[in-house]
Chain A
Amino acid sequence: MLAGDYEAALKPLLRERCFSCHGALQQKAGLRLDTVAGMLRGGKHGPALVSGKAELSALVQRVSSSDTDERMPPEHEGQPFSEAQVALLKQWVSEGASAPAGELPEPDPRDHWAFRPRQRPSVPAVKQADRVRNPIDAFLAKGLEAAGLAPRPEAPRRLQIRRLYLDLIGLPPTEAEMQQALADGSDEGYRRTVDRLLDDPRHGERWARHWMDVWRYSDPWGLGDQHRNSAKHLWHWRDWIVESLNADLPYDEMIRLMLAADESHPDDLQQLRATGFLGRNYFLFNRNQWLDETVEHVGKAFLGLTLNCAKCHDHKYDPLPQTDYYRMRAFFEPYQVRMDLVPGEADMARDAIPRAYDRDPETPTYRFVRGQETQPDRSRVMTPGVPSLLGVALPDIRRVELPPTAWQPERRPWVLETQVGGARKELQTVRSEVARASTNAAATAIAAAKVAVAAARLESVVRRAEAQRASWNDGPASATTAEITDVARRAAVTAERREKLARHRLTLAETQQKLATAEVGKKDALAKEVATQTERLAALEKEAAQEPAPSETFSVLSGAAWVPTRFLDSTKDDPAVPAAPHSTGRRTALSRWITDPANPLTARVAVNQVWNRHFGAALAPALFDFGRKGGTPEHTDLIDWLACELVDTRWSLKHLHRLIVTSAAYRMDSTLAGAGAELARDPDNRLGWRRSPIRLESQVIRDALLAHAGRLDTTRGGPTVGSSDQAQSRRRSLYFHHSNNDRNLFLTTFDEALVKECYRRETSIVPQQALALLNGRLVGDCAPDIARNLTASAPAPGDEAFVRHAFEQLLGFEPSPAELQAALEALRGPFARSAGEAGGKAGPATGTSAAEAQKAQAQQDAPMPARARLVWSLVNHGDFVTLR
């Protein structure tokens, strides 16, 4: 065997099975196996290799041993060598263990490009200067020139405008917008279009969806009525993302707010919405699963670190000991989720802000032996800490003293008013329900009791609100204030007792009615129940009449509610914990560390994500793994330059978008016609000599259909559109309920984001997509309107002008003569004929909805069914769902 065989066959095997412990990352037993020299040198147990003597070589012995204590890789650490692999190893050793000349050891992992400090690279001077619109192009041109490759020419202007609209605001340009952009054909004109779109509030809606993919947005889900995952009303976080992007809130500030707005803005509901990022990970039953997801995706989304790979053992590729995983977890150990009351809505089932807060500051974090939650290593508490690998110090963790309104949110000025308002509204509702209800004697008694309950509750809420206000008197204490407080307390206690009494009266009235209508056999039991309840009534009446004891308290009207967990017992909520007047400050420290400009990863990871969504391909293909396993991408200098731009412009994402979309790289054509040489030399486009066509995201496809049809409801923000309302809804797809087990069918068909992990959207081509566009009601509903709009906006009458216009508007290009002819033939031939047929028997459609659609069709679309059919065909054209 030659050295080349070792390189080709053995070294990859050793790299996979051995290097993580015996290479650059670690040198267990002082041994390195990443060079033959290292094997011969050996470790503390002597040489691993005796050249020419397989049977004497420790390496051979250890990998082929049948004793699991002896065998390498050890159990749970890697797959044993197969017999064939052992034989290969033996043969190579026996034949002299030849090594390639100048074999180099693995480089120091800390030297990996992404772990090194980021420095602004100078922009290279290049020959293809005419193709350089900004430094992005210079960095790409350097590589292309070295490889002798030419970049593709610029795409047709119409296509560029279509790209800008769909990419920056997620909607196609209207005819007027297209004409305006085409008329302003200069480079300044292009830039003006870019600026207009970046300032458009729809930009935030479009890019929010991208970040929601990365940050794992999910509406809540559970089993039946039981809420189990993600926080309720999480749409507040979505709206915060949209607004923040539109305001160009710096990316670093977004991270800090998402991780720790409860510490930096403890009383600002608008900012607290940001912590929906953490609310997303709520899981009713299992804390470990919850925090595993938190650590994994904080690592992947912000840092491009696969910390999750260090959960069970030291990381196999990066210098991340297992303890780094648990120290990262410790930042999050105290946090849980609560709902904060919003002004004007007392019913948290209807609205409230889901937000993070430190609930259990004292909970220790332990390392789990081999990652198993059943085996915590209690000998050592894991304190919060960051990987030392990156060489950036964690800021001091400083406890945050919270203002009283933050940890006692009932003190917020609107809370008591909202509670009183809620009780008042409830009374009105009950009264009007009672007024509408039918009247027989028993029903009247119950109705009266219900009104009494609502009235008593209002009284109780009012009195408790007064008592709470009185108790917060922060002025100098005096006998008078104490007396006022005590009077209010007694009134509140009494009112609450009366509420209880009213509720009991209602219960009794209901039991009495049951008794009145019960079958004979059940009367006895019910009569007994009535007797017991009557007795209890007397006790409650007596209690209500008594003066409250000095120690007696009332239930406080709350401004927030902890979202209960069931970590201890799945059948009941875990015990409540009194709110702490402080927060640990852990997450603030972590967020500052992540966004420290010296952190080598954060900005690099961010620019790569943005690039990926603009181009449909990333500069560093492993979006969430900037570690050694992710490899070294082709254009680290470009990544670094973009990262520096991001940081140096106060982390402005809009600046980054503007840079990217005004580059020549972005404006290139995606066709491969005539690109034979480039295709042969760089088929995977590693050097960036062309753009690739992008299959549009599911949301864009649906939104574009509605927009072309003039049906889009542009209302921004607010609660999600539930599944039962989606068929009728014309809102942007962003607002549809989107959770692990409840996602819109049409959107799912086109590769909807997976809520558990979506750093990159899948882009499949499957027949179900064809069926959705051929047969789906959405297209059927939109096509006639689109045809009508296109007819109205076409520059000239007649079929030919219509066809040209339809191609340009729907597909973004002017039809060739052959395409024009094919479309015209269909329009005048089969489409006109089936227009005649469709009036009577409408093909395979079945069911009520189809019948309705048919009727609506006949009414609305009679003048132009053939054109609607052509539109239907063009919507099914590949270019409708593709960004060329």
Chain B
Amino acid sequence: MTSAPSVGALHPLSPADGQTPLRPRRAFLADLGMGFTGLALGTLLQREAGAASSALWTPPDGRPHFTPKAKNVIWLFMNGGVSHMESFDPKPMLTKYAGKTIAETPFASVQDPKKLALERLVVPDANGNQRNTLFPLQVGFRKHGQSGMEISDWFPHIAAHADRLALVRSLWTTDSNHGAQTQFHSGRHQNDGDFPNLGAWVHYGLGSLNENLPQFVSMGTREYWNQRDGHYLGPAHDAVPLRIDPDRPLDYARAEHALVGAGQRGGIDLIRRLNELRGIEYPDDPAIAARIASYELAYRMQSSVPEVVDFSKETAETQALYGLDQPHSREFGRQLLAARRMVERGVRFIQIQHGGGGAGAWDAHSGLKANHEGLARAVDQPIGGLLTDLHRRGLLDETLVVFATEFGRTPGTQGSDGRDHHIFGFSVWMAGGGLRQGIVHGATDEIGFHATENRHYVTDIHATILHQLGLDSRRLEIPGRKRLDIDHGQPIRELIG
């Protein structure tokens, strides 16, 4: 705290009268307030009171539950639904049987209604229907690296890292509309309501790595139904939205008035002094300490946040590595470069949405070839660059990069040249963070319809990531908010090694 003699009495760990035993839980909460991202203090205190009957429950103490292998997560989410068959899961049978209906092929059994029953409708839609006439692959595939992983020719820069990827080709979900985006983040179907997403759980479970920056950041446009993260964990666990704009990277990061100008520091010193003095009359009020900490942090954020999105000290080579020198990849590349800078500075969870707005850019109901080829050009080099850069800086071991999307696309054609939404099988990959490398896990059937081997619901990805971060999501659960087995998922052992 400060050198002021009165301050000792303010510290929440101090017994109010020298006799009172310490109350560790409360003290911990106040301590968290001294760290970065702030916390829903009142909420937690209220929950404590509410949870008195639930004697077994304690809030997270900011430490992992077991030794972590990863510290940071960069979460890349492709909005709209990437075709698994034109990215990471080649299906030559589509080309062989192109133009035939599924019923006319040897794979007719994929449409057994029992196998389709997992779908839960939100919107009876012209989209999200089964498309029966098989659509040929729109791109070639090649084997890459020692692993011989097959990746489409639209993703050459990612393919160059094939031996670093842990690719899962057997995801499934249940919402055939774009609510599957929130479902991929929270594990819950839109019809169930709003639930905290993975980033919020990580933020809730783990303490700070850096006291000058938010620990949970989001970049890119978010769909309107996917605007927030914390939900029942509270707004303190929402991602802080950042923009790649050193002049306005964060709301209120710059003065919108000329009232104090250069006198801000003096003002903050006075605010701090007055808040401390108030603690004489209100000792043991954890909000005072938390507020003082939040002002110090806010002051530092004014410079640290613009700094993290200022690339003037990055070399031309690095900038080119992320595709900043090319218009098609510049926007995404800037976000990924900022992500690496945040990882270097200890930001815990960086959530980046690509192609957000409308239903999502990857939503190729028609013109799939032009759509995916163009979008792949926008993201491939930045992602490849990110993996290269993290690796050469020794950051990839502790940083988990995730490439995800809400669902795959139909093996059958929609219109003349598109693919519809497809929930029964799709692909996601991860890299770094101590996961096994160059591994393909799970598979879909021969036309990419159903995940058949090692099927995984989306929360298995969450459980895998939490595991690498040293967290057991069952130990994060809070009273009154029952989570089901499927909400927790299971770590994918084969990827953990």
Contacts and interface: CB of A to CB of B under 8 A. Distances in A.
Interface of A: 12, 79, 221, 223-224, 285-286, 288-289, 292, 372-374, 566-571, 616-617, 621-622, 625, 629, 631, 670-676, 679-680, 683-686, 693, 695, 740-741, 745, 748-749, 751, 754, 756-757, 760, 762-772, 774-777, 779-781, 783-784, 816, 818-819, 822-823, 826, 829-831, 833-834, 837-838, 841-847, 849-850, 853-854, 857, 865, 868-869, 872-874, 876-879, 882, 884
Interface stretch (B11-19, B73-81, B135-143, B418-426): B11-19
Contacts of A876: 267-268, 271, 295
B21 to A, nearest CB: 6
A668 to B, nearest CB: 14
Contacts of A740: 224-225, 227
Nearest to B301: A767
Instruction: Give the residue among A567, A621, A775 with the most B Cβ atoms within 10 A.
Output: A775
B251 A768 contact: yes
Contacts of B16: 672-676, 679
B389 interface: no
Contacts of A877: 271, 274-275, 278
A748 B26 CA distance: 26
Interface residues of B, number: 94
Contacts of B254: 775, 844-846, 850
Given A676-B16, A765-B290, A838 B261 contact: yes
A751 B41 CA distance: 12
B281 A834 contact: no
Interface string B276-299: 011011111101101100110111
Given A374-B121, A845-B255, A853-B257, 12 more contacts: A223-B358, A285-B122, A631-B52, A673-B282, A749-B251, A765-B291, A767-B298, A775-B255, A775-B257, A819-B278, A826-B266, A838-B259
Given A756-B194, A774-B298, A831 B253 contact: no
Contacts of A684: 48-49, 52
Nearest to A875: B271
B335 to A, nearest CB: 20
Contact of B263 (A373, A749, A833): A833
A625 B224 CA distance: 30
Given A684-B49, A767-B301, A843 B258 contact: yes
Contacts of B52: 631, 684, 686
A625 B270 CA distance: 44
A570 B43 contact: no
A884 B49 contact: no
Interface stretch (B32-40, B62-70, B154-162, B433-441): B32-40
A762 B234 contact: yes
Contacts of A745: 251
B120 interface: yes
A567 B247 contact: no
20 contacts: A286-B123, A288-B191, A374-B119, A671-B281, A672-B284, A676-B15, A679-B16, A740-B227, A762-B43, A762-B234, A764-B38, A767-B38, A767-B301, A775-B255, A780-B257, A783-B259, A831-B266, A843-B262, A857-B258, A872-B259
A62 to B, nearest CB: 18
Nearest to A694: B42
7 tightest A-B contacts by CB? A780-B257, A834-B263, A843-B261, A763-B42, A766-B38, A676-B17, A830-B266
A764 B234 contact: yes
Contacts of B231: 754
B105 interface: no
A211 B125 CA distance: 36
A764 B236 contact: yes
Contacts of B277: 816, 818-819, 822
A359 B487 CA distance: 37
B399 interface: no
B270 A826 contact: yes
Instruction: Give the residue among B236, B255, B271 with the most A Cβ atoms within 10 A.
Output: B255
A844 B255 contact: yes
A774 B39 contact: no
A629 B480 contact: yes
Contacts of B301: 767, 771
Nearest to A748: B235
Instruction: Give the residue among B258, B264, B294, B358 with the most A Cβ atoms within 10 A.
Output: B258
B20 interface: yes
A717 B301 CA distance: 39
Contacts of A772: 251-252
A567 B122 CA distance: 9
Nearest to A727: B256
A884 B282 contact: yes
B224 A223 contact: yes
Contacts of B37: 766-767
B267 to A, nearest CB: 5
A12 B19 CA distance: 34
Nearest to B18: A676
A652 B194 CA distance: 35
B328 interface: no
A294 B119 CA distance: 23
Contact of A569 (B53, B126, B257): B126
B302 interface: yes
B247 A846 contact: yes
B480 to A, nearest CB: 6
A766 B258 CA distance: 24
Nearest to A770: B298
B339 interface: no
Nearest to A835: B263
Given A625-B480, A767-B294, A771-B302, A834 B224 contact: no
Contacts of B26: 683
B357 to A, nearest CB: 10
Contact of A878 (B53, B214, B262, B278): B278
Contacts of B297: 767, 770
Interface string B406-449: 00000000000000000000000000000000000000000000
A784 B258 CA distance: 11
Contact of B124 (A570, A674, A865): A570
Given A570-B124, A765-B294, A845 B258 contact: yes
Contacts of B280: 673, 816
Contacts of A292: 191
Contacts of A680: 19-21
Given A631-B53, A769-B294, A849 B256 contact: yes
A872 B267 contact: yes
Contact of A763 (B15, B40, B48, B270): B40
Given A830-B266, A873-B274, A374 B117 contact: yes
A829 B262 CA distance: 14
B148 interface: no
Instruction: Give the residue among A676, A684, A878 with the most B Cβ atoms within 10 A.
Output: A878
B79 to A, nearest CB: 13
Contacts of B258: 780, 838, 842-843, 845, 850, 853-854, 857
B402 interface: no
A570 B126 contact: yes
A843 B274 contact: no
Nearest to B262: A843
B72 interface: no
B33 A857 contact: no
A749 B255 CA distance: 16
B106 interface: no
A767 B296 CA distance: 8
A847 B257 CA distance: 10
B43 A693 contact: no
A769 B301 CA distance: 12
A374 B273 CA distance: 62
A242 to B, nearest CB: 26
Nearest to B6: A818
A221 B223 CA distance: 13
B271 A289 contact: no
Given A684-B48, A751-B235, A819-B274, A850 B282 contact: no
